[in-house]
Structure 1
Amino acid sequence: MSNRLMLALDVGGTFTKGCIIDHHQILTSTIKKYHTYSYLDADAILNNFKLIIEGFFYQYLRDHNKKNINQLNIGLTFPGPFDYQKGISYVKGVGKFEALYEMNIREEILKRLLAAKLPVNDQINIRFENDCRLFGIGVSEELSAKRLICLTIGTGLGSAFLDKGQILKNRKGIPPGGYLYQVPYEISIVDDYFSIRGILKLASSKGVDINRYNTVKDISLLAKEKNDPALQTFETFGNKLAEMLEPYIQSFQPDKIVIGGQISKSFNLFGNALQKIAQQHNIEAIAMKDELYYTFKGIDIIFNNDDN
C-alpha cells in the first residue's frame, strides 16, 4: 500500500477551504475553512498556507497512527490571472494577493515546508490549477457526457470546456484558454454580468433595495416569496446567460452544460432559459450544487493522472 498523503486546498481571496484525500477518498470529516489573509504581506500569506498544510499533515499522522509518510502531494486552486504550470501569481489591482504578484508561490511554499522538516521520506509535490477546471474534471468523471461546458458563478465567472475529461485550452469554437470571463459582452465583459456583483447590479435596476437585500441569497428568498422585482432579476439573468452561451453551444456542441458555484443554488430561479436553449440543441443544462466536493475530486484526479 502506497504511503502517500494528498491534501487539497481551494484558495479564495477571503477563505481557504481544505481537506485530506486518502486513497482517492475525500475525507469529508476533515473539510475545514480558514481565513486566507490575502490583504497581508507576502510572508504572512505564505506562512498561513504553511500552517494550514501542517495542520492537515499532522492530523493525518495522528488519525492514522503514523510517524511519517513517503510522499506529500498538495493541490491548490488559486484565483487568476495565474500561471498554473509554473505557480506564479499575476493577481493585481483587486486588493487581494497584491504582495504575491509575480512571485513563484510553489517555490515559496515548498521552501517553508522543507524548513519545517515535516517527516516526509521522499518528496513534496505542489500543483496549482484553476478552480473551475478542477470542478469540471471532478464532474466529468461522474457524468457519462463526453463534452462539457462547466461554469462556476460566484465572485466571478469560471469556465471550462472538457472533452473526455480533458481540459481544452486552445481549440476552435471556444475562447482562449477556455476562459469566458474576459469575453466582451454588452458594454463590458462577461465577468461583470455573470457574477454576484452582476446580479446585485441587475437587481438594483429591477427595483430591489440592495441596501437591504445585499446578497444573492437574500434576493433568492425574495423571489421564492413571489417578489416581482426579485423574480424579474433571476429571469433576466437566466435569459442573458443563455444568450451569452448559445454561440459556444453551437460551436462546441457539448453533451451537457453544468453550473456550479454559489449561484447554482438558485438554478431553479434562473435556469429555465438555459434549459430551453439546451433542449433546442438536444443537450441538457444542470446544476451541481456541491462545487467544493467536485473541485477536491478534480485535484485528486490530476495527481492520479500524473502518476499513470
Structure 2
Amino acid sequence: MQNILGIDIGGSHITLAQVDPEKREIITSTYVREHVNSFDNKETIFSAWTSAIEKAAHDLVKDDLLIGIAMPGPFDYENGISLMQQGKFIDIFKINIKEELAQRLSISPKQIHFVNDAAAFMEGEVFGGCVQGFQKIFGITLGTGLGTTFYNGEMATDEDLWDSPFKESIFEDYLATRWFVKRYAELTGEQISGTKDLLDKPLEIQKQIFGEYADTFSEFVVQHVNHYKPEVLVIGGNIAKAYPHFEQKFIQNLTKDSINLQVRISGIFEDAAILGAASYALKKLL
C-alpha cells in the first residue's frame, strides 16, 4: 500500500494525517494539528511544518512517502512556490517550499505535490466524501471566505469566484462569516462571532438573517454556478453546518429560476482537504 500523507495548511494551522488509499479514509491515529502563525519568519514556519510532518509520518519509510499539500493561493502549485505578497506567509514569498521541505525531510522534491485548498476540498469529497461517483460537481466552501471549485470528472479546479461583483461590493462580503456578524450588529446593536452564536438567538432574528443569506446564496448560484451544469452542488465550511436553517428558502429560490440541483453537505468538513491533497498526490503519481 502506498504511504501517503495529506496536509492542509492554513493561515493559522497545519493539519495532517496518513491516508489509507484503499479505504479512502484518514488513519485517525496519525492525525496531527499544530498552530502555525503565518506572520512568523521563514525559519519558524518551516520548522513548525517539518516538525508536524515528522510526527505524522514517524513510522513511514521516507523513500516510499508521498506527500500532498493543500495550500491557499496565490501559489505556483506545480513548482511549489508561494506567491503570497500580502497578509499571511509574507516571509516565504517566492521561496521554493517544495525544495525547502524536501531538504529538511531528506526526501526528493518529486515526492511532494501541491494543490489549491478549494480544489483539495473537492478532491477529498470525490475521493472519500459525499459525492463519490458523480462526474460534474460544483463545490462551495462557506466560512471565513468564499471558496469555489469545479470537478469535471477527472480533476478539480479552483474557480476563484470569491470576488465576483455583488451590490456595492463582492459576493464574499455577503456570503462569508463576517456578513452574519455585520448584519446581526446592524439589526440588534449586539455582537456575535458567526452562525453558531446566531443559532442561540431568538427564532425571529434567525429567520430574517438566514432568509437574507439564502437570497444572496441562491443569487450567486444563478449567476455563477448554473452555467457549469453540475449534477450536484457540494457545500462545505462552517456555515454549511447551518444549512438546514436556510435550505428551504435557498431551494425555493432556485426552483423559481427553474434550477433543479441536488445539494450535498460535506460529511468530512476539515478532513476533506487532507483527503483531497492525498488523492491529488496519488493522481500525480499515476
- TM-score by length of structure 1 reads 0.83
* Aligned twin of 1:293: 271
Deviation at 1:128, TM superposition (A): 1.3
What is the aligned partner in structure 1 of residue 194 from structure 2? Answer: 215
Partner of 1:171: none
CA distance in structure 2 between the partners assigned to 1:270 and 1:233 by the alignment:
9
Distance 2:49 2:195 in 1: 30
Partners of 2:214 and 2:56 in 1: how far apart?
40
> How many residues are matched?
279
Cα distance 1:15–1:266, how it changes in 2: closer, same or farther (>3 A)?
same
Q: Does 1:133 align with 2:109?
A: no
Supply the distance in 2 between the matched residues of 1:247 and 1:178 (Cα, whole angstroms). Answer: 14
- Against the structure 1 CA distance between its residues 90 and 220, is the aligned structure 2 distance closer, same or farther, given a 3 Å change threshold? farther
Name the SS for the 1:281 alignment partner: coil
Answer whether contact 2:6 2:276 (CA < 8 A) is retained.
Answer: no
Letter in 1 for 2:114: F
Is residue 20 of structure 2 the alignment partner of residue 22 of structure 1? yes
Distance 1:18 1:251, change over 3 A: same
- The match for 2:73 among 71, 77, 80 is 80
What does residue 91 of structure 2 align with? 99
Give the CA deviation at 1:297: 2.2
Deviation at 1:42, TM superposition (A): 0.7
3-state SS of the aligned residue for 2:245? helix
The equivalences for 1:215-234 within 5 A come to: 215-222=194-201, 225-226=202-203, 228-234=204-210
One-letter code of the match for 1:10?
D
Give the percent of matched residue pairs that are identical in Structure 1 and Structure 2.
Answer: 25
Residues in 1 aligned to 2:52 and 2:39: alpha-carbon distance in whole angstroms: 17
Residue equivalent to 2:159: 178
Structure 2 letter corresponding to 1:257:
L
Pair 1:167 & 2:145 matched: no
Residues 1:237 and 2:218 aligned together? no
* 1:236 shift after superposition: 0.8
AA at the equivalent of 2:73: G
* Cα distance in 1 between the residues matched to 2:66 and 2:269: 21
- Distance in structure 1 (CA, Å) of the matches to 2:199 and 2:75: 33
Deviation at 1:251, TM superposition (A): 1.5
Question: 1:238-253 counterparts in 2 under 5 A?
Answer: 238-253=214-229
Render the CA deviation track for 1:213-238: whole Å, top value 9, x for unaligned: 2233111232xx51x22332222112
Alignment of 1:34-49 (within 5 A): 34-49=34-49
| 1:208 Cα offset (Å) | 5.7
Q: In structure 2, what is the Cα distance between the partners aligned to 1:87 and 1:126? A: 9
Look up the match of 1:156. Answer: 145
Return the alpha-carbon distance in structure 1 between the equivalents of residues 254 and 151 of structure 2: 17
Q: C-alpha distance in 2, partners of 1:53/1:269?
A: 38
Report the Cα distance in structure 1 between the residues aligned to 2:76 and 2:248, rounded to whole angstroms: 36
Q: Which runs of 5+ in 1 are unaligned?
A: 62-67, 115-119, 169-176
| 1:263 positional shift | 1.0
* 1:51 alignment partner in structure 2: 51
In structure 2, what is the Cα distance between the partners aligned to 1:165 and 1:132?
16
SS at match of 2:111: strand
Unaligned runs of 5+ in 2: none
For the 8 Å contact 2:6–2:18, the answer to whether it is kept is yes
Match of 1:197 among 171, 178, 181: 178
Q: In angstroms, what is the RMSD of aligned CA positions? A: 2.2
Residues 36 and 262 of structure 1: CA distance in aligned 2, closer, same or farther (over 3 Å): same
Q: Offset at 1:246?
A: 0.5
Q: Output the CA distance in 1 between the equivalents of 2:154 and 2:16.
A: 23
Alpha-carbon distance in structure 2 between the residues aligned to 1:206 and 1:27? 45
SS in 2 for 1:274: helix
| Structure with bigger RCO (C-alpha 8 Å, 6+ apart) | 2
